[in-house]
Amino acid sequence: MEVSLERIEHRACFGGWQDVYRHRSQVLDCDMQFAIYLPPQAQDGPVPVLYWLSGLTCTEQNFITKAGAQRYAAEHGIAIVCPDTSPRGEAVADAEGYDLGKGAGFYVNATQVPWAAHYRMYDYVVDELPALVEAHFPVILMRAISGHSMGGHGALMLALRNPGRYRSVSAFSPIVAPSQVPWGQKAFAAYLGDDRAAWRQYDTTELVQSATEKLPFLIDQGDADEFLDVQLRPWLLQAAADAAGYPVYLRTQPGYDHGYYFVASFIGDHIAHHAKALKA
C-alpha cells in the first residue's frame, strides 16, 4: 500500500536538512510524526541511518531541538531518524500520569485491552518506519540505533532481538531491567498482562543472557541522575552481561543528571561510535 508522506517542517541545519513528516501508520492505526535529519552528504548519494528512540513524555521534537546531534551527523555523513514515543490521536487509549499511555509506549507490542488496538511500537520501529524511510529517502541499508531512558531500553532491546539488523547500538541512562523497576513493571503489567514470562522478551537484562549476536553496548550514565537507584540500575545489566560474556562499555559520568544537557554533552561520542561501525 502506498503511504502518503506530508512534510510539516523543513529547516536548513549544518549544511543538511532537518525535516518532520506526518503519515498514516497501518501498524498503529493512527497518524504519526517522525523527524529525519539528512546530512549534506545525502545530496550526493545515500547515507547510513541512525534511529534515535526518546524517553518518557517525549515526541519526535525533543532530540532534534535539544541534543545538538545534527552537527555531528553532518560531520560523519549519517542520517538520523527520530520517531514519536507512542501512538497519538483522540482514539488512542491513554492513562493518568506520565509513565503510561501517550508518550510512554515502551517500544513493545501491547496484548491487553485497551492498549492492543494501537500500542505496537515494537513493530512500528523495527519494520514499518524503516521500510518507509528506506523507500522515500536517500539512505542505505546500514542501520544503527540509540536512545535515552525509555528509549535506551528500546534501543538495547531491539538490537538484542533483531541480530543483523543494526551495525551498532548505544544508550543514555537506559532502563535496563524494566521487569525489576517501577516504570517497567507498571507499563508491562498494563500492556502485556500479569504473566511475567511475557515480559522477558522486552527486558534487556533477560535478553543479554542468551544473545546470539554480541554487538557491543556503549552506555553513558550520569552519577547524579535522579532516577539512577530506583528506575535505571545499570549494574543489573553489567552483572548479567559479565556472566554471559557480552561486551558492555558502561561509562559513569560524574555530575550529570537525567536530562538533555547530559545527552548533548556526549552525543558526539555516540555518533562517532556509530559512524565507525556504519562505515566499516
Q: Which of the residues are catalytic? A: 149, 225, 258
Distance (Å, whole) CA 249 – CA 164: 20
Q: Which of 161, 152, 162, 150 is nearest to 187 (CA)?
A: 150
Distance (Å, whole) CA 217 – CA 234: 12
In angstroms, the Cα distances linking 51 to 31, 60, 95, 166, 171 are 19, 11, 27, 10, 11
Please, what's the b/e burial string for 89-117 (b: 16 or more CB within 10 A of its CB; e: otherwise)? eeebbbeeeebbbbbbbbbbbbeeeebee
Distance (Å, whole) CA 79 – CA 77: 7
Beta bridge partners of 98: none
Strands (E), 44-167: 47-53, 79-83, 139-147
